[in-house]
Copies of this chain bind each other. A is one copy, B any other.
Amino acid sequence: MPADTPGRPRASPPAAEPASARRTPSKPRSAAEHRKSSKPAMEKRRRARVNASLAQLKALILDALSQDSARHSKLEKADILEMTVRHLRSVRRVHMTAALSADPAVLGKYRAGFNECLAEVNRFLAGCEDVPADVRSRLLGHLAACLGQLGPSRRTAPPPPAAEVPTPEVYVGSPPLPAFDGPFPPLRPGAAFALPLLQALTGAPPAAPLAGLQGRGVPWRPWLR
| A residues with CB within 8 A of B | 4-14, 16, 41, 45-46, 48-61, 63-66, 69, 77-78, 81-82, 84-85, 87-92, 94-103, 106-122, 124-125, 128, 130-146, 148-151, 154-155, 157, 160, 163, 166, 168-178, 193-202, 204-211, 214-216, 220-222, 225
Q: Are A124 and B95 in contact (CB under 8 A)?
A: no
CA distance A48 to B56 in the complex (A): 22
Q: In the complex where A14-B14, A85-B53, A148-B211 touch, is A174 in contact with B60 (Cβ < 8 A)?
A: yes
Q: In the complex where A60-B85, A88-B60 touch, is A96 in contact with B198 (Cβ < 8 A)?
A: yes
Q: Are B8 and A7 in contact (CB under 8 A)?
A: yes
Q: Which single member of B99, B124, B151 contacts A199 (CB below 8 Å)?
A: B99
Q: Which single member of B59, B144, B157 contacts A168 (CB below 8 Å)?
A: B59
Q: Are B117 and A113 in contact (CB under 8 A)?
A: yes
Given contacts A56-B177, A60-B92, A90-B149, 17 further A-B contacts (CB under 8 A): A4-B45, A9-B11, A46-B78, A50-B77, A52-B172, A52-B177, A84-B84, A90-B146, A91-B207, A101-B106, A110-B113, A111-B113, A116-B198, A133-B206, A137-B206, A142-B222, A145-B216
Q: Are A115 and B11 in contact (CB under 8 A)?
A: no
Nearest chain B residue, comparing its CB with the CB of A91: B91
CA distance A81 to B122 in the complex (A): 26
Which residues of B sit under 8 angstroms from A66, Cβ to Cβ? Answer: 157, 160, 163
